[in-house]
Copies of this chain bind each other. A is one copy, B any other.
């Protein structure tokens, strides 16, 4: 993954917010408490909170995924997204020593 695409992915308020929300699914997505957060949060929940259209949210999540910050799991008709903490650690190190 190119560094530029990584920084571009982080250059948007809504996307940054999604990443933040996914840090604490239990707190930010209580509607999904019942089904649990094993694989993260499904697109619909994120959309409801983001106040953007379904298509925009879907695209933003895929941008974040391509950049490596989140991973997706399809379960039935739902796609769940959850953070990939390793990507943040890796980026942190790149900035500290390679930028």
Contact = CB atoms under 8 A, between A and B. Distances in A.
Interface stretch (A11-19, A26-34, A50-58, A72-80): A11-19
Number of copies: 2
Contact of A7 (B11, B88, B99): B11
Interface residues of A, number: 19
A38 interface: no
Contact of A96 (B4, B10, B92, B99): B92
A49 interface: no
Interface string A21-43: 00000000000000000000000
The 6 closest A-B CB pairs, nearest first, are A92-B96, A7-B10, A7-B11, A92-B95, A8-B11, A92-B92
